[in-house]
Amino acid sequence: MSALMGVSPLLLLVGAGLAIMLVDAFSTERSELALVTAASLFAGAALAGSMLVSGDVPAAHELVTRYLAVDRLGLFFDVVICVGAGLSALLAGGYLREHGFERGEFYVLIIFTAFGAMVLARAVDLLSIFLGLETMSLGAYALVAYRRTSARAVEGAVKYFLLGSFAAAILLFGSALLYGATRHTDLAGIREVVAAGDADPILVVLALVMLIVGLAFKVGAVPFHMWVPDSYEGAATPVTTFMSVAVKAAAVAVLVRVLVGAFGAPASMGLYTGWTPVIVLLAIATMVYGNLAALAQSSVKRMLAYSSIAHAGYILVGFAAAHEVGSFAVSSVLFYIAAYTVSNVLAFGSLILMGSKGKEAVSYDDLAGAGRRHPLAAFPFAIGVLSLLGMPPTAGFFGKYYVFSAAVQAGGPMIWLAVLGVLASAVGAYYYLKVIVYLYMREPEEGQPIAVPMQSIYVTAALVLAGYYVVKMGVTPGRYLDWAVSAASSFMS
């Protein structure tokens, strides 16, 4: 039994998902499925968090560790993914019921997609990477198309599916080349062969490029971002929330394991000889394009979609610094993804709260004057966008601070990358503060539809939890950074 403790959060989700499937199949009462789903996911987070905080990572059977890591890094991402998915389930409990299309399969999809994300975040073999990626992706495709009567949802799902299939094929082809070059599918074996110089360098470079392309698609990095705006906008907002936090967190985790793990030798990640310059170019393109594109949006939801692209660029800044300050760079990425998770849930959740049935908030104009009419509903929205902007004392501020500090400590060209990141964040201030301007400083024009906040204890609970951690991680970031450092250090050792 103790051999399974290390993967107990995953087993918990499997059991909960099967139980929810049975309830949905044999019962017509679905009113509490959102609460059960969220409770299961939070229980998974608590289970992983207890092992992470105590530092007591149980040993696992070799059959498990051959494909899935049982380490602090995996536990850290278990917590992030389960918390993001649990908060998204709470948001769905209010949103789907309010808009009249709540069905039990939604929560089953959330559970098993989160399970796939956790498998991907722990994967240490090319086979388990692909299985985790596809388990997560298939659930995400279905979730985007969940609102079947919406043409935009179906369009977004089809684009996501087609582009995701191409990305998965490229990733699989890269994995095959890497196996051909190293005769290993496990990341540790690949690292040993590559570091020793025993692999064909041309095959290794081609394989690495394909792996980066496939994983950059999941992160939403430019120029592999084409699916993000349409999929985020077309999906039901709780689905958008889930994808922007859980799916992105899993993609970041596997990037850490592949780039810093399998290709972590000095020659493989050097500034002029490895993957670092590729990541630098991706980071620059992603930060600049994401912020500039967000400026032109009139839809708040689409703006947050492009904002998500920009945040992928900031995360890549941390990866770019890993060649010089490996452990600190990885820990800064971990802290950033945790801070981004609660901040994004707060922003998207506030957008959900601002719109009741028939009066859903979509554009900036819909929010005009809402801060005066509904101050309690508008306040979490303001905190959420300020955290995404990076305003102290919020979680988002320290997320950006640690990532840019890692780039500055790396020195050389990385300092200019940090400067560009700060300038890109300054551009982002325009569209984030625009939300606050419309909430508190604009009045709706005559005849303009006015968004009316919904009444949902589920949505309110999700916003209270997300808001609490946005502020707590901003006021006392040390504890959370220590956990990130612990996870990064154990992985790098």
pLDDT in tens, 296-315: 888 888 999 999 999 999 99
Flag whether pLDDT at 394 surpasses 60. Answer: yes
pLDDT at residue 96, rounded to an integer = 87
In a domain, 243, yes or no: no
Flag whether pLDDT at 31 surpasses 80. Answer: no
Distance from chain centroid for Cα 56: 26
- Which pair of structure tokens corresponds to residue 160? 């996501």
- Which pair of structure tokens corresponds to residue 293? 């594109």
Q: What residue spans of 258-325 are helical by DSSP H? A: 266-269, 276-295, 300-320
Based on the structure, what is the number of domains in the chain? Answer: 1
pLDDT at residue 114, rounded to an integer = 95
- Which pair of structure tokens corresponds to residue 67? 């494909």
In a domain, 264, yes or no: no
Residue 156 backbone dihedrals phi, psi, to 5 degrees: -60, -40
pLDDT band at 196 (very low <50, low <70, confident <90, very high): confident
In a domain, 338, yes or no: yes
In a domain, 485, yes or no: yes
Flag whether pLDDT at 2 surpasses 70. Answer: no
In a domain, 158, yes or no: no
- Tell me the sheet residues that pair with 363: 299
pLDDT at residue 411, rounded to an integer = 86
In a domain, 18, yes or no: no
How is residue 454 annotated by DSSP? -
Residue 186 backbone dihedrals phi, psi, to 5 degrees: -80, 140
Flag whether pLDDT at 123 surpasses 90. Answer: yes
pLDDT at residue 447, rounded to an integer = 66
pLDDT band at 3 (very low <50, low <70, confident <90, very high): low
Number of neighbouring beta carbons within 10 Å of residue 392: 12
- Could you list the residue range(s) of the whole structural domain that residue 360 is in? 270-493
- Which pair of structure tokens corresponds to residue 71? 């380490």
* CA-based torsion, 361, 366, 367, 370: positive or negative: negative
Flag whether pLDDT at 17 surpasses 60. Answer: yes
pLDDT band at 1 (very low <50, low <70, confident <90, very high): very low
Q: What is the rounded CA–CA span in Å between residue 342 and residue 340?
A: 6
pLDDT at residue 80, rounded to an integer = 95
Flag whether pLDDT at 274 surpasses 90. Answer: no
In a domain, 295, yes or no: yes
pLDDT in tens, 200-210: 889 999 999 99
| Of 290, 356, 348, 344, residue with least CA distance to 317 | 290
In a domain, 129, yes or no: no
pLDDT band at 109 (very low <50, low <70, confident <90, very high): very high
Q: What is the rounded CA–CA span in Å between residue 234 and residue 222?
A: 20
Where is average pLDDT lowest: 59-63, 214-218, 263-267, 404-408? 59-63
